[in-house]
Amino acid sequence: MMNIIVNVNRALITSTVLAISFILLLGPASMTMNAFATTNTANQGIGQSQASTQLGICVSGDGTLFSCNNLNAQGQTNTGNNALAQQGGDDDDDDNGNTANQGIGQSQTSNQNALCVSGTGTFVSCNNLNAQNQANSGNNALAQQGGGSVGGNQATQSIGQSQTSNQNSGVASGGDTTGSGNNQNTQSQTNTGNNAAAQSGGSGSGGGNQATQSIGQSQTSNQNSGVASGGDTTGSGNNQNTQSQTNTGNNAAAQSGGSGSGGGNQATQSIGQSQTSNQNSGVASGGNTAGSGNNVNTQTQNNTGNNAAAQQ
């Protein structure tokens, strides 16, 4: 009798990495000055990123018991804020504008693959379990005062949360398959953070205000399960996905145009929630297939956030 079991489980987790799909490329804050102009430019970012890759492979001439299961849990919490105040110069001849980019981003990715080949039965093996949670209460806060001749203000503020899960499971048994080849994914996102901007235009011909504010939540789940049994298949080859999103954060902008001919105001505000689930299950059994080959998906979205803009 020959029994070979190979189990490889790798997890790659990297935290505190700036920039995700929802955020502009963010760098260190900077200010540039010369004898002819006073221009303020600032980039502020808070970023969290986690990635996990797991692979389990079991090949057995006999039975496979409690083997090659992948378990991943990822959690992110941010309470930090981005806060910035900018004052344009008072030069009468040149550019005295303000530019600011502020972003808060959270990203989680999980890839799980499990494969079991057994000469006889497979019991509670080659299952994938993933749980991802993100919570943000951090805010982006900005105040800009335009300068002299061409003292315009430009502001971009964003809060983004992204979760991705890919699960693949395959089981081939010469005998019964019980509690194996299942995929379970749970994703949760909560945002209470706000984007807030106050802009006052400059006195020149280009003293206008431009503000772009966004809050976005995205969840993606892909699940594939295949089971082939010579005997009965019980509680196997199932996919279960649960996704929830809650946002109470607001976009708020107050803009006062400049006194010159170009002192207009422009504001773009958005709140978005996206959920995607793809499930595939296949079961082939020489006996019964009780509680097997099922796909269950639950998705909930709650938003009480507002877009508010006051322009003068």
Report pTM: 0.86
What pLDDT sits at residue 94?
56
Question: In this structure, how many other beta carbons lie within 10 angstroms of the beta carbon of residue 71?
Answer: 14
Q: State how far the Cα of 146 lies from the Cα of 285, in Å rounded to an integer.
A: 72
Name the token pair of 164. 């991705």
Q: State how far the Cα of 137 lies from the Cα of 22, in Å rounded to an integer.
A: 17
What pLDDT sits at residue 262?
59
Tokens 């070979």 sit on residue:
4
Question: In this structure, how many other beta carbons lie within 10 angstroms of the beta carbon of residue 222?
Answer: 19
C-alpha distances (whole Å) from 43 to each of 100, 103, 228, 266 are: 6, 8, 54, 20
What pLDDT sits at residue 16?
31
What pLDDT sits at residue 91?
57
Our measurement of the distance from residue 67's CA atom to the centroid of its chain's CA atoms, rounded to an integer in Å, reads 31
What pLDDT sits at residue 264?
75
What pLDDT sits at residue 206?
62
Q: Measuring CA to CA, which residue among 126, 118, 112, 113 is closest to residue 69?
A: 126
User: Mean pLDDT of successive 10-residue segments in the chain (312 residues)?
Assistant: 34 34 37 46 97 98 96 98 87 70 98 98 98 98 80 91 98 98 98 96 72 98 98 98 98 84 83 98 97 98 97 89
What pLDDT sits at residue 152?
77
What pLDDT sits at residue 218?
98
Q: Measuring CA to CA, which residue among 120, 178, 161 is closest to residue 1?
A: 120
